């Protein structure tokens, strides 16, 4: 290809950008505590290799390794005085590999600090920092700018103004939004697009945080809001932690499928963000070629074991701990429904739904604690409100991510006093996966250590094995993943949870009955009740999302094919409910209960699944 100006090329082509830089460097052995931008100076060959791999995969645009190369982020590594040279070399390295055929985009990310009024840095100071970076990138030879992964649109506006003040190169601006369609600062998608459109950008879009499925959902809205070319660059789904490392689940083939959907919906620029590799970009290139006929070429969890304590008799027998504990102790089958806390303070929907679920015979409501590291109403608050105002018992998830040992004990004692008895001990997703990746995780302990603490409290002992008086009466649950990529390690950890005092387990959503049976057979000697997770699939997209983007979930290809037979979403939902009902019917014979998710907050769907089990139980009587 003979290179023409980028804006001219964009008018005639769907443009393919490259994929991730940071996660690929991590995958190739660079420790996460290193300054990745400084590799432009210390290991330029490694950066060249990644650029070359993306170009060979079919990318038309490669991005400089300068996402965090501003004076503030570099200052954390005492490298702020090398800002210009790091950016210049980042551009020069990419330009040398791209040659005269492909384009080089200067990658500019947020400063990593909060601007006024949220922080102390003024907008003018931010603009000056962006100008410094942009000038060096221009000197290095970039063809355009990609301002990406911004959370604060005010900071983005300063970045745009800075880039335009030092040159006239094309500008692409991409914010990152959450699952609810808002930025982490609460800006609605429609308002974001409106403000971007008024800035007369060469392209606008969204990148990072979300996988392909949700990106497509938002793209369908955005194409109706603007005529400016739209860029879509998703993550490779949600990462899964295995042996201390993060793995992204969305396959290259999955990205190829969604590349076609992005183009069909109206995206003009596509590419990949965290977790994507040259293999993902290659599949996207093939998809674009089919569509337009031409295309240029972690987090370590610290575990603390408690000291041996005197063996004390629990003062609260299991059957007296809670309604749920009593039913399981008597051998009765239980049915739970999952309810996500709201992002705001309005809980009318949750209260109304809880009352309906109680009237339909649901035994308890299962409340996740900031699922996927999202910022939501405290689970304890929702649990207490549901129990007091809707009269239905809850199972409150409690994670180790956000609290230290002192906070954990304080929260649990408070939960006991407030009447929350059923606790599911969870390690928790790292902040990197969620709404606020810059947040600091605690992880003083993991779920095994948390189970120890709950067990101690049930014996009247605190975290230091000191007597606290009257013991708590928690019914202690733990999570388990029958679909784990490392099943041996999962079983070892499950054994540790049981040894620490776990009394029941709730599984991740199960779609593969044979895998569940094999897992239960392997842990049958643990003698602990199982409640099996059931997820009614809302659509084909939902099924693909669960298969490729949700850690700990395995959706067999047979289910995808079954959903693919129907085009209408209503028909796909019916099939999803049928699949869930079939699974619920099968697992009734090998479990002590089911926990049903409510897709998109549709609790009537969960009840459709619950009714089939209740009918079978009634017939058995």
Query: How would you classify residue 210: left for phi > 0, otherwise alpha for psi between -120 and 50, otherwise beta?
Result: beta
Amino acid 29: pLDDT: 87
Q: Of 288-302, 317-331, 398-412, 531-545, which range is least confident?
A: 288-302
Please answer whether residues 205 and 214 qualify as being in contact, where contact means their C-beta atoms are separated by less than 8 angstroms: no
Structure tokens at 87: 């950016």
User: Got the DSSP string for 520-587?
Assistant: HHHTGGG---EEEEE----SHHHHHHHHHHSTT----HHHHHHHHT--SHHHHHHHHHHHHHHHHHHH
Instruction: Measure the N-to-C terminal CA separation of the chain; round to a whole number of Å.
Output: 74
Mean pLDDT value across residues 362-373: 88
CB atoms within 10 A of CB 230: 25
pLDDT in tens, 342-356: 989 999 999 999 999
The average pLDDT across 43-58 equals: 96
Distance (Å, whole) CA 298 – CA 312 = 38
Task: Look up residue 502 and give its DSSP letter.
Answer: -
| Entry pTM | 0.68
Beta bridge partners of 107: 146
Q: What's the CA gap between 544 and 223, in Å, rounded?
A: 23
* The pLDDT of residue 244: 56
Give the three-class secondary structure for 266: coil
Question: pLDDT tens digits, residue range 194-217?
Answer: 999 999 999 999 999 999 999 999
Q: Which helix (H) or strand (E) holds 489?
A: helix 487-500
pLDDT of residue 245: 57
C-alpha distances in Å from residue 482, one per residue of 328, 485, 487, 523, 583: 21, 9, 7, 10, 15
Q: Is the pLDDT of residue 304 over 80?
A: no
Residues forming beta bridges with residue 425, ordered by sequence position: 398, 478
- Measured on CA atoms in the order 558, 562, 565, 569, is the torsion positive or negative? negative
By CB atoms closer than 10 A (0-12, 13-18, 19+), residue 359 is: exposed
Secondary structure of 443-483 as H, E, C letters: CCCCHHHHHHHHHHHHCCECCCCCECCCCCCCEEEEEECCC
Cβ-count burial of 34 within 10 angstroms (0-12 exposed, 13-18 middle, 19+ buried)? middle
Indicate whether 139 pLDDT > 60. yes
Q: Mean per-residue pLDDT for 279-285?
A: 95
Q: What is the pLDDT of residues 492-503, one digit of tens each?
A: 899 999 999 999
Residue found by looking up tokens 């009537």 in the block: 604
**What pLDDT sits at residue 438?**
63
Strand boundaries in 221-333, DSSP class E = 230-233, 239-242, 245-248, 269-270
State both tokens at 488.
């041996």
pLDDT given for residue 76 in this prediction: 94
Question: Looking at residues 298-319, what average pLDDT do you find?
Answer: 49
Note the pLDDT tens digit of each residue in 233-269. 999 987 666 555 556 678 999 999 999 999 989 999 9
Which whole number is the average pLDDT over 478-492? 87
pLDDT for residue 310 is more than 60: no
Question: How far is 114 from 112, CA to CA, in rounded Å?
Answer: 7
Q: Where is pLDDT greater, at 552 or 595?
A: 595
pLDDT averaged over every residue in the chain: 90
Domains of the chain by start residue, with CATH: 6-292 (3.20.20.330), 318-535+592-602 (3.20.20.220)
Q: Are 498 and 562 in contact (CB under 8 A)?
A: no
- Check residue 386 and give its pLDDT: 96
- Average pLDDT, integer, range 28-39: 90
Which pLDDT value is given to residue 297?
A: 33
Integer angstrom CA distances of residue 533 from 149, 530, 584: 34, 10, 9
- The DSSP H or E segment spanning 393 is strand 393-399
Answer yes or no: is pLDDT of 41 > 50: yes
CA 404 to chain centre: 23
pLDDT at 520: 92
Q: What is the largest CA-CA distance in the chain?
A: 80
Q: 78 — alpha (psi -120 to 50), left (phi > 0) or beta?
A: left
pLDDT at 301: 30
- Percent of the chain whose predicted confidence (pLDDT) is above 90: 73
Task: Measure the CA–CA gap between 416 and 413, rounded to whole angstroms.
Answer: 5
pLDDT value of position 375:
83
Question: pLDDT at position 224, please?
Answer: 95
pLDDT at 432: 58
């Amino acid at each position: 290809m003979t290179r023409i100006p980028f804006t001219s090329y964009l008018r005639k082509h769907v443009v393919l950008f490259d994929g991730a830089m940071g996660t690929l460097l991590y995958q190739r052995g660079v420790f996460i505590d290193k300054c990745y931008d400084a590799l432009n100076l210390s290991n330029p060959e490694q950066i060249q290799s990644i650029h070359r791999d993306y170009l060979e995969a079919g990318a038309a645009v490669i991005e400089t390794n300068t996402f965090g190369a501003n004076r503030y982020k570099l200052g954390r590594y005492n490298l702020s005085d090398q800002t210009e040279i790091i950016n210049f070399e980042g551009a020069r390295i990419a330009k040398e590999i791209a040659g005269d055929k492909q384009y080089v985009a200067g990658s500019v990310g947020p400063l990593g600090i909060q601007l006024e009024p949220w922080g102390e840095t003024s907008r003018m100071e931010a603009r000056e920092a962006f100008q410094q970076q942009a000038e060096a990138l221009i000197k290095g030879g970039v063809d355009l700018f990609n301002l990406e992964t911004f959370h604060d649109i005010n900071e983005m506006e300063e970045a745009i103004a800075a880039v335009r003040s030092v040159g006239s190169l094309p500008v692409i601006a991409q914010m990152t939004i959450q699952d609810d369609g808002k930025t982490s600062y609460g800006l609605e998608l429609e308002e974001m697009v409106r403000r971007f459109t008024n800035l007369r950008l060469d392209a606008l879009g969204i990148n990072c945080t979300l996988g392909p499925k949700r990106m497509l959902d938002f793209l369908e809205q955005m194409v109706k809001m603007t005529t400016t070319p739209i860029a879509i660059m998703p993550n490779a789904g949600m990462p899964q932690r295995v042996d201390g490392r993060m793995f992204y689940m969305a396959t290259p083939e999955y990205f190829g499928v969604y590349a076609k959907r992005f183009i069909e919906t109206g995206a003009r620029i596509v590419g990949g963000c965290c977790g994507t590799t040259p293999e993902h970009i290659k599949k996207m290139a093939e998809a674009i070629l089919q569509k337009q006929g031409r295309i240029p070429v972690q987090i370590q969890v610290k575990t603390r074991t408690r000291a041996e304590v005197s063996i004390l008799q629990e003062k609260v027998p299991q059957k007296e701990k809670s309604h749920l504990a009593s039913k399981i102790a008597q051998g009765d089958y239980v049915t739970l429904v999952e309810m996500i806390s709201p992002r705001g303070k309005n809980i009318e929907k949750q209260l109304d739904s809880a009352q309906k679920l109680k009237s339909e015979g649901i035994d308890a409501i299962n409340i996740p604690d900031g699922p996927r590291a999202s910022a939501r109403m405290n689970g304890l608050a929702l649990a207490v409100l549901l129990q007091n105002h809707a009269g239905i018992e809850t199972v409150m998830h409690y994670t180790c991510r956000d609290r230290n040992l002192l906070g954990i004990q304080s929260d649990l004692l408070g939960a006991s006093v407030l009447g929350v008895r059923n606790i599911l001990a969870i390690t928790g997703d790292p902040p990197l996966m969620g709404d606020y990746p810059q947040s600091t995780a605690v992880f003083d302990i993991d779920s095994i250590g948390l189970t120890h603490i709950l067990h101690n409290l049930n014996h009247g002992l605190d975290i230091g094995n000191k007597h606290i008086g009257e013991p708590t009466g928690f019914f202690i649950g733990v999570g388990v993943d029958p679909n784990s990529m490392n099943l041996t390690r999962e079983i070892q950890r499950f054994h540790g949870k049981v040894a620490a005092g776990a009394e029941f387990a709730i599984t991740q959503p199960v779609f593969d009955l044979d895998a569940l049976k094999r897992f239960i057979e392997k842990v049958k000697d643990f003698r602990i009740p199982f409640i099996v997770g059931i997820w009614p699939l809302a659509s084909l997209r939902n099924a693909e999302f669960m298969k490729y983007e949700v850690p700990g979930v395995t959706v067999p290809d047979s289910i995808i094919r079954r959903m693919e037979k129907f085009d209408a979403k209503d028909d796909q939902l019916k099939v999803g409910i049928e699949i869930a009902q079939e699974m619920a019917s099968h697992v009734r014979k090998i479990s002590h209960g089911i926990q049903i998710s409510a897709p998109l907050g549709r609790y009537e769907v969960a009840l459709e699944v619950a009714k089939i089990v209740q009918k079978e139980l009634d017939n058995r009587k």
